Chains A and B, each alone.
Chain A
Amino acid sequence: MQDSMKVCTGNFGKHAQSIEAYKKLGGYSTISKSLFEMSQFEVIDRVQRAGLRGRGGAGFPTGMKWSFVPRNTGKPVYIVVNADEGEGGTYKDHFLLLEDPHRLIEGLIIAGWALGARTAYIYARGEFLPCIESVNKALNEAYAAGYLGENIMGTKFSFDIFVHRGAGAYICGEETALINSLEGQKGQPRLKPPFPAVAGAWASPTCVNNVETIMSLPWIFSHPVEEYTKMGTPRAHGTKVFCVSGDVKRPGLYEAPLGTPLMEMLTSEEYCQGIIGNLKGVIPGGSSCPPLLPEECENATLDYECMASLKTMFGSGAIIVFNDTHNAVDILDVLGHFYSHESCGQCTPCREGTGFAKRVLDSILRGEGHDGDIELLQGISAGFGGTTICPLSISLGGPLNVYTRKYRADFEEYIAKNPNHAEPRLRPTVRLGAYW
């Protein structure tokens, strides 16, 4: 793919961190009088016509999300950039912030104009100190150049961007938890409604967008809409940054049009250059997505609809490949450990269920599994759906259900290692004294 057609990663490897270099590469061309002559509704309409969908995982149309934000309620509108990526396999925001911080600022100014916002926050996870340094340096340059601050380009529009450093909680990637964290509280998700678009940060209208979504805006506004819509599939336009990790020869970040065949991404010279060993499965969108078997990968394309038809999720574009030297029990145990550690503890099914699943998986892995454990795990998974405030429990529930079905032989093999596997598992009805 040509660099000029790359929406987000076009400046990678070109040392675009400084404002001079970024402007030389065509940056800040959209921040002009013509942008501020467009009305807010025209800006939103353009994003809607481009068909940009949220790149954080859910794939919700961005223009529609913006149109939900009420105007003139007498309260300020906040834009919050979600740079709290922590889902296993996802690492695009890390490098997007490191390599091209000015593009984020440019995108934020467009979004700020569209929403009539005065203040934007970039919520970066605590581990991203190098990224925060990179963004703060860029912010200093943008303020000095007059792209931020009071009365930008002589208009009445004033805009400030602040970086907020989180402190290590995966759950803060959920938008209402992120807002709680921004307010200086524990990052526990809130009940919806009210939706953040109506009452988010400090009870004001708030729009939470992913880093990649915001970084797509400068390209969309500096090119004709048709150029964006002709990339991708009829229902999902544009490109996506895919983060490939696991057992491939060249893991890394690759920007490709939506609808690219999965196997092309994994095997072509342009992208990952092949799989190490024999393919056993591919997780298409981050650790919470159910895996695909090799035969399902053959005809899979990387877009929202195809992944939904394969009963998995497109997610954040984090492709994790594993070969047949790994067994599914081990992988699921890692996921169980992750989700039980990261459960915020608010809802009982998630707090107890994820820990229960983890302990059952641990015991299977130790060779102390029992017959019926597979059904037990699937039962735990069934208890998650619709019983919790946020989808963290379902993020484990999906994999629990699908790994046990698709890789049942692995589980049976491990359970058979227990000489007493036919005995029923003793399950405590009361769990006492767990210290967290």
Chain B
Amino acid sequence: MSHITGAIQDVANNILSYSKGPSPVEVLPSPADQFGHANPIQKQPTWGEIAPLLETAEVKARVADLLSRYPVAQGALLEVLWIAQDAIGWLPHEAIRWAADVCECSAPHAYGVSTFYTMYKHVPTGRFLLQFCHNISCHLRGAESMLEYARRVLDLKPGETTKDGLFTIVEVECLAACGNAPAMIVNDDFATNVENGELTLKPGECLTPERLDKILQWCRDRAAKYPKEPPREVLGGIVKGHGGHPGAPGATAKPQVSDYAPPCPVLGVNALVDENGATLTWKGAPEFTELTVEKNANGTWTEVGKPGVKDKQFVDPEGKIGDEYRMIAVSGTRTAKPSQVCKAKAAPPPPPEAPAAAPATAKKVG
């Protein structure tokens, strides 16, 4: 039995070392060891504890700005989660619920989104999050040894935080700084060196143990200088002057105006005159929201009536043979070009068994 349990546990641990026989049962790594993923053990603050951080004027202004950028509020979800993470430092459940409320989606959806993306933190981390790239270019240039060096200097394992709460180190995938390989990110800034008291990423400068020491020293100096990390716009500052998305709540922009009118969706207009007046029939794709029938009266087009969108025919009681008709289709705010002009003709004599009110052409349309 223990053999089987061992094997299952091996499989569960993603270890494929069957050739050695059953290996001792290992404890599954706690998800808490894995940065960035949901952690059921993490103690969650209540809404009352985080509300003062989220219900500020700045956050409200920023959220209103974000919501105006997307036609649907849910589009702002990723950004609102960023704001919450910036304000609190990580994403407690209540913050995710708040983001879901703001973005008008369900809390489970927001939770799913927040766990899909690796940069949302579900556990608090140290003040300086050191992210080491271990993808191919950095690996070729010695990322492993840099990470090993950082682990030794800080006495940490990836995913852990130092006792003074300053540093957390994590391994991440490609950071798009392969020309500076091996590269790293300190919180939100790329860093391979420190110059004039600032983190720099200069072409061709790669991370070395000496430079890493300088970066760590920069972090410690900063911690001594500022007891709390100075606030920084995670979304890179507010852009002023944009009109917002035309369809978004609170947006001020008008929809795009185009001089170009689309071709008429109404085709094959036909007018037949009998004792009831002129009967118009047409074929059309259901692309319009409004239809108007116009009649040529001595050179000016005047409106005769508005058939319903689903109607198949329209009767003008005053229609005579030789009258000219055309149709105008409107789709939303956009008006199409007028349809082809049709001249009313005399209706053919109805077949004896068919009722006179239903012209034969109406059957074709349906």
Contact = CB atoms under 8 A, between A and B. Distances in A.
Contact of B117 (A72, A136, A166, A368): A166
A150 interface: yes
A105 B361 CA distance: 55
Contacts of A338: 135-136, 173-174
A71 B176 CA distance: 36
A163 interface: yes
Interface stretch (B155-163, B235-243, B275-283): B235-243
Given A167-B118, A168-B119, A320-B140, A244 B179 contact: yes
Interface stretch (A26-34, A249-257, A297-305, A378-386): A249-257
A251 B8 contact: no
A88 B137 contact: yes
Interface string A129-172: 11011111101100110001110000011101111111111100
Interface in A159-196: 160-170, 181-187
Nearest to A339: B173
Interface stretch (A61-69, A263-271, A420-428): A420-428
Contact of B179 (A91, A132, A342): A91
A125 B176 contact: yes
A34 to B, nearest CB: 17
Contacts of A71: 260, 262
B189 A167 contact: no
B78 A166 contact: yes
B135 A287 contact: yes
A223 to B, nearest CB: 27
Nearest to B183: A91
Interface stretch (A43-51, A52-60, A231-239, A355-363): A355-363
B137 A246 contact: yes
A247 interface: yes
B135 A334 contact: yes
B256 A243 contact: no
Contacts of B120: 167-168
B256 A116 contact: yes
Nearest to B29: A435
A76 B214 CA distance: 51
Interface stretch (B9-17, B221-229, B338-346): B9-17
B93 interface: no
Interface stretch (B43-51, B69-77, B145-153, B304-312): B69-77
A221 interface: no
Given A72-B258, A244-B179, A148 B118 contact: no
A363 B136 contact: no
Interface residues of B, number: 86
B135 A94 contact: no
Interface string A71-111: 11010100000000111111101100000000000000000
A149 B117 contact: no
Interface string A288-329: 000000000000000000000000000000101010001000
Contacts of A434: 11-12, 14
B194 interface: no
A88 B136 contact: yes
A126 to B, nearest CB: 4
Given A76-B256, A160-B253, A363-B16, A331 B103 contact: no
A425 B16 CA distance: 9
Given A88-B178, A140-B237, A432 B12 contact: yes
Residue among B31, B238, B257 having the largest count of chain A Cβ atoms under 10 Å: B257
Nearest to A186: B116
Given A91-B177, A118-B246, A363 B239 contact: no
A431 interface: yes
Nearest to B79: A165
B18 A320 contact: no
Nearest to B69: A162
Interface of A: 71-72, 74, 76, 85-91, 93-94, 116-119, 125-130, 132-137, 139-140, 143-144, 148-150, 156-158, 160-170, 181-187, 202, 243-247, 250-253, 283, 287, 318, 320, 322, 326, 330-331, 334-335, 338, 341-342, 344, 355, 359-360, 362-363, 366, 368, 370, 418, 420, 423, 425-426, 428, 430-436
Interface of B: 7-8, 11-12, 14, 16-19, 28, 31, 36-37, 69-72, 74-79, 81-82, 103, 105, 109, 112-113, 116-120, 131, 134-137, 139-141, 172-179, 181, 185, 188-190, 203-204, 233-247, 253-260, 262, 287, 331-332, 334
A-B residue pairs, 3 tightest by C-beta = A184-B77, A143-B241, A168-B119
24 contacts: A71-B260, A72-B262, A74-B334, A76-B255, A86-B173, A86-B174, A116-B256, A119-B246, A126-B117, A127-B119, A127-B131, A127-B176, A135-B236, A137-B236, A137-B237, A140-B241, A163-B239, A167-B118, A187-B117, A341-B173, A418-B19, A425-B19, A430-B11, A432-B8
Given A139-B239, A245-B178, A433-B8, 13 more contacts: A74-B331, A88-B137, A140-B241, A144-B240, A150-B243, A160-B242, A162-B69, A168-B172, A185-B109, A245-B137, A334-B136, A426-B18, A434-B12
